[in-house]
Every structure is written in structure tokens, then in C-alpha cells.
Amino acid sequence: MRTIGFRSNVLFIVAASVGLLASLGRPWYAPAPVQTPGEVRIGDVQGPVEQFFSRLAREFTTAHGTTGWQAFSSTDTILTILVLFAIATSIGTLVPNVQQPCREVLRLVTLAMLGIVVVKLANTPDAAGLVERRQGAWIALCVTGIMASSANTIYHAPLVRRKKGRALYETPPLLVIPERSHVFDTPGSVGPETAEPTQPAA
């Protein structure tokens, strides 16, 4: 089975970072709908299981709600700063001189973003009446999971070392043709290069 390459993981992190910023513009939370007495039908049983699946369907399909930029006071700023760090350090892992510290910082940054999203996904802002999650929160969870996985792969990948004493781009050596050896030549088998010129007949 072919694994994803080193540079492909870097591209995944950059793309997922952009996706995280885009998810903040999507609805993250929304108030729970309240059924009026006229909407309750006879024989309609709303048990815990039915309510769970009904709420889950609203979280993935409903596009109305409060966006991440509106719901957060400082978390959105923190995530934006971490996204910039993730993009910079992921590109830095391609540079041999700074790849080791960039790998360590990238791993910590992606884990921090994943942790923040998980906390915000679990703790909805109930005080503001926003008790249900929406698409933006789930999208953020997916992209931060991708970033953390790719960063972990980059962290454990072998280091790319530049060979000392060699230029980055070298011209190929010229082809040298060795001289012809005359050790095993028999007398009288001298080549045309070393043969003596014949004297013209008198």
C-alpha cells in the first residue's frame, strides 16, 4: 500500500488551515427549536432516541445559526494565529536547516487547534441560548483532525539532510576517454597514430 508523501502532507495542512478559517464563517451554534402545541401531532412519539437523531440531522443539514466569528470573543483570534503558525511551520519543514524545530512546533500547534475545537464542540454557549451545534463546528473538527494527522506523519518522517561539500546543483562530470594501452600490442601492430611515415621510393 502506497503511503502519502511528505510534500502531500504539507499541502494537506495548508489546505486544511484555509478550511478552518472558512469554517469560522459557517454556522457553529443555534438555539434549539421549540415545538408549539399546534405542531404536536397525535401518535408522534418523541423519545430520547428520536430526539437525538432529529437533533443530529439538524446539526448537519441546517445552514442557519450563529457563525464562529460571531459566537467567539477570543477563540477565533487564537485559531487564526495558530493557523498562520501552522502554514509557516509546514512550509518550513521543507527547508533542511530548520525542518526539525518546525516539525515540533507544527505538531504542537495542530494538536492545540484540535483541542480547542473539541472543547468548543462539546461545550456549547448555553448562556447565550445556543445549545445546538451546526455545520461549522463539525467542519472544523474534520480539518483540524486532518492537520493533526498530517503533522504527526511529518514529525515521524526521516529528516532530509543536505550533503556537505557539494553544491545544490552540480554539473555532471565530463566523459574522459582513456588512452589506448599498447602493453599487449605485438611488434608490427603499431597503430596509425604512432606508425613511422614511409619513405618514398627513389
> In sequence order, what are the beta bridge partners of 29?
66, 133
- Give pLDDT, residue 1: 39
φ, ψ dihedrals at 78, nearest 5°: -65, -45
CB 69 within 8 A of CB 76: yes
- Give pLDDT, residue 140: 95
Beginning with the edge strand found earlier in the chain, give each strand of the sheet holding 66-67 in spatial order.
66-67, 27-30, 132-133
CB 144 within 8 A of CB 16: yes
Residue 136's CATH number: 1.20.120
- Give pLDDT, residue 173: 55
pTM, full prediction: 0.69
The domain in which residue 111 lies consists of 6-33+47-156
Instruction: Say if 198 falls within a structural domain.
Output: no
The domain total for the chain is 1
Blockwise average pLDDT, block size 10, the chain, 202 residues = 75 95 93 64 58 75 87 93 96 91 95 96 84 91 95 87 52 61 59 54 54
Instruction: Say if 163 falls within a structural domain.
Output: no
Instruction: Say if 183 falls within a structural domain.
Output: no
- Give pLDDT, residue 105: 96
Distance (Å) of CA 15 to CA 4, 28, 133, 149, 162: 15, 20, 24, 14, 28
What's the residue count for the chain? Answer: 202
